[in-house]
Chains A and B, each alone.
Chain A
Amino acid sequence: MAETVTSKNMALAKAINESLRRALESDPKVLIMGEDVGKLGGVFRVTDGLQKDFGESRVIDTPLAESGIVGTAIGLALRGYRPVVEIQFDGFVFPAYDQIVTQLAKMHARSLGKVKMPIVVRIPYGGGIGAVEHHSESPEALFAHVSGLKVVSPSNASDAYWMMQQAIQSDDPVIFFEPKRRYWDKGEVNTEAIPGPLHKAQVVREGTDLTLAAYGPMVKLCLEAAAAAAEEGKNLEVLDLRSVSPLDFDTIQTSVEKTRRLVVVHEAPVFFGSGAEIAARITERCFYHLEAPVLRVGGYHAPYPPARLEEEYLPGLDRVLDTVDRALAY
């Protein structure tokens, strides 16, 4: 069978690496830019070996200046290139936030459609790796709030591979949040498959009693929570949202109309997080189906804590199950 030939087991980081390699091979306009992406292969080795094979002109070690990275990528896009830039860690994106929000996001609209911005901004994000300050944050809502940007986050190796292909092919700027605590999780990647749409959510576990919705690093946790709940006789459905902007509300709605209960899980702080938007819109869409308010599990309204406290701060199995119980109690 063709599939057994083309399907490979690889870590999520390697899947992104392979996807970048394929993009560099298939389109001479694709560039990789970032700090330490060349010889070192990135601090997470996501770009490992790419500069060796594609040269310094296409895999570009940049000065240590995030605004400069995104700002020059905009200029390169105006010249017809398709830059894929790496921000080394989530907490370091803010020097580039101005270029992303005031320039990158608005360029297509303010040019009345004359200019396109096919730029991917890769950001390893989230906690759970025992890192120092500014290395564990989840700022996706700060980007989803900005029109003109698309925001996605894969949860597994196969999606990481294909969503990166699609993000690079997109003529819109895509903020690509990579779940760094899952970089080393392995999964099957079929490089000849025909992928589904980039911004479509997927039902990764079917259930009837309650819907757990998550993306990126929290999908695995939700699947573990659903398995644990099953032992207690609760049948949970799990959605991998995959895209934060646009959000696939249709898939969430279909699920909630069946299960009548929704819990949204993300590492980002709950307050003004993506769960708030999901709760508001699903309440409006599914008002007469809901048996309980939409509940959220996420970070607290406090700075991301020192690593020794992060297990208390991050949603964990027990906190998700506790919230599931609260929703089921209505």
Chain B
Amino acid sequence: MTVESTAARKPRRSAGTKSTAGKRTTATTPGTEPELVQLLTPEGERVKNAEYDKYVAGVTPEDLRGLYRDMVLTRRFDAEATSLQRQGELGLWASLLGQEAAQIGSGRALRDDDYVFPTYREHGVAWCRGVDPTNLLGMFRGVNNGGWDPNGNNFHLYTIVIGSQTLHATGYAMGVAKDGADSAVIAYFGDGASSQGDVAESFTFSAVYNAPVVFFCQNNQWAISEPTEKQTRVPLYQRAQGYGFPGVRVDGNDVLACLAVTKWALERARSGEGPTLVEAFTYRMGAHTTSDDPTRYRGDEERLAWEAKDPILRLRRFLEASNHTDERFFEELETESEALGRRVREAVRAMPDPDHFAIFENVYADGHALVDEERAQFAAYQASFADEEGGN
């Protein structure tokens, strides 16, 4: 499959680029602005797609309600974390607001034996993997640098250095292939990371070794204050072509399309067809992190345009129009959301500070004489205060 043939199969309908299309054509090669793979319009209308429908053919009304629930609870958790930062309980928070469909759609496409390499914003994917949301908050509270066992849920630790994890995903996928397993690996990154050398090298390595990896780029239009135009002059998914594997742009606010396209890409990986680049075209509705002030670099107009394409709203419209739900479902979900928010709030407030000696723990697996020596010095120093207190 080639990029061209994929583009040719895309539906005519495209809502994702409308608001910024005029601006974007100045930065991309004229006439190349692509359309999106979309299965649900912003109005909640199901669009037929000859290529990708089969990947969601088995999705039941219950599954759809599950996707909706995932997105609602993820957004609720995210909002709670933002509040906790404002209350001083977290040092920082990187909100995923607006990217729920990209993360839940791709996350629910995965099998248990697949492996995920996230950035620091994949709270929705973590949710799909079964990582307890409260475990994500340790690093943002400053009690650890990663509070979960990566192998417990096949969900690697958050990676803060931009793009580094795409190489880890590629290496892991090379190992999967060596083992003869049919698992797949997915690497998350963003439009900003697409400029990093590590991402380019991961494309090279995965292509050369035909590694079973899916590169899932959430193009949320902004790398802190820099728009995508500052990262690329071609649509990001087209980068794959130069490396010899397919790239597809999907409506990142359409959970069904994200599910379908990711399933297709994972299937390619499993069947030995190598890497795929998926560009989920979405929008970072909030600030980069709680330390950021987007009013300095972007206006409300853009935000309002994307608000109309909200991922949760459009699935709700579809669920209601197709009579897959009743009011009770939404009411119960509201109750569940509030309970989750409360649980997260209480868990964070109860999170103990680490023991002082945690500084010296796990620096090495096999120990190191200097670490032992400095730990002993630190212990003696601390004990000297205890002596004084005891002496008084």
Q: Which residues of A contact B (CB under 8 A)?
A: 57, 62-63, 65, 67-68, 70-81, 95, 98-99, 102-103, 106, 108-117, 147-148, 150, 170-172, 199, 245-249
Cβ < 8 Å to A, chain B residues 350-392: 361-366, 368-371
* Interface contact A111-B167, CB-CB below 8 Å: no
Cβ of B205 under 8 Å from chain A: yes
* Interface contact B156-A199, CB-CB below 8 Å: no
Partner of B175 from A63, A80, A108, A147 at Cβ < 8 Å: A80
For B167, the chain A residues whose CB sits under 8 A away are: 67-68, 70-72, 74-75, 99
A-B pairs with lowest CB-CB distance, top 8: A75-B171, A71-B167, A79-B175, A72-B171, A68-B201, A171-B365, A75-B172, A110-B145
Bits for B194-216, please: 1 = Cβ < 8 Å to A, else 0: 00011001101100100000000
A40 CA to B117 CA in the complex, in Å?
A: 34
Cβ of B83 under 8 Å from chain A: no
- What is the total number of residues of chain B having a CB less than 8 Å from a CB of chain A? 43
Give the residue among B151, B164, B168, B208 with the most A Cβ atoms within 10 A: B168
Selected A-B contacts with CB under 8 Å, 11 pairs? A72-B202, A73-B171, A75-B174, A103-B168, A109-B362, A109-B363, A110-B146, A111-B157, A171-B365, A172-B364, A172-B365
A-B contacts at CB below 8 angstroms, number: 143
* Interface residues of B, dominant DSSP: helix
Partner of A110 from B149, B157, B179 at Cβ < 8 Å: B157
* Interface contact B150-A75, CB-CB below 8 Å: no
A95 CA to B167 CA in the complex, in Å?
A: 13
Q: What is the distance, in angstroms, from B376's C-beta to the closest C-beta of chain A?
A: 14
Having A79-B172, A98-B198, A170-B366, one finds 5 other A-B pairs with CB under 8 Å, namely A68-B205, A75-B117, A75-B173, A111-B157, A115-B150
Cβ of B103 under 8 Å from chain A: no
For A247, the chain B residues whose CB sits under 8 A away are: 369-370
* Interface contact B363-A67, CB-CB below 8 Å: no
For A77, the chain B residues whose CB sits under 8 A away are: 171
For B1, the chain A residues whose CB sits under 8 A away are: none
For B368, the chain A residues whose CB sits under 8 A away are: 147, 150, 172, 245-246
Q: Which residue of the partner chain B has the closest CB to A64?
A: B204
For B166, the chain A residues whose CB sits under 8 A away are: 71
Cβ of B265 under 8 Å from chain A: no
For B170, the chain A residues whose CB sits under 8 A away are: 68, 71-72, 75
Q: What is the distance, in angstroms, from B180's C-beta to the closest C-beta of chain A?
A: 11
Task: Please judge, given known A-B contacts A72-B167, A110-B146, A111-B149, whether A246 and B174 are in contact too, CB under 8 Å.
Answer: no
Cβ of B178 under 8 Å from chain A: yes
A108 CA to B150 CA in the complex, in Å?
A: 11
Cβ of B176 under 8 Å from chain A: yes
For B370, the chain A residues whose CB sits under 8 A away are: 245-247
* Interface contact A147-B371, CB-CB below 8 Å: yes
A106 CA to B144 CA in the complex, in Å?
A: 12
Cβ of B161 under 8 Å from chain A: yes
Cβ of B81 under 8 Å from chain A: no
A110 CA to B164 CA in the complex, in Å?
A: 15
Q: Which residue of the partner chain B has the closest CB to A74?
A: B168
Cβ of B169 under 8 Å from chain A: yes
Q: Which residue of the partner chain A has the closest CB to B370?
A: A246
A108 CA to B156 CA in the complex, in Å?
A: 12
A63 CA to B208 CA in the complex, in Å?
A: 8
* Interface contact B168-A71, CB-CB below 8 Å: yes
* Interface contact A99-B164, CB-CB below 8 Å: yes
For B176, the chain A residues whose CB sits under 8 A away are: 79
* Interface contact A75-B366, CB-CB below 8 Å: no
A72 CA to B174 CA in the complex, in Å?
A: 8
Q: Which residue of the partner chain A has the closest CB to B213?
A: A75
Q: Which residue of the partner chain A has the closest CB to B372?
A: A246
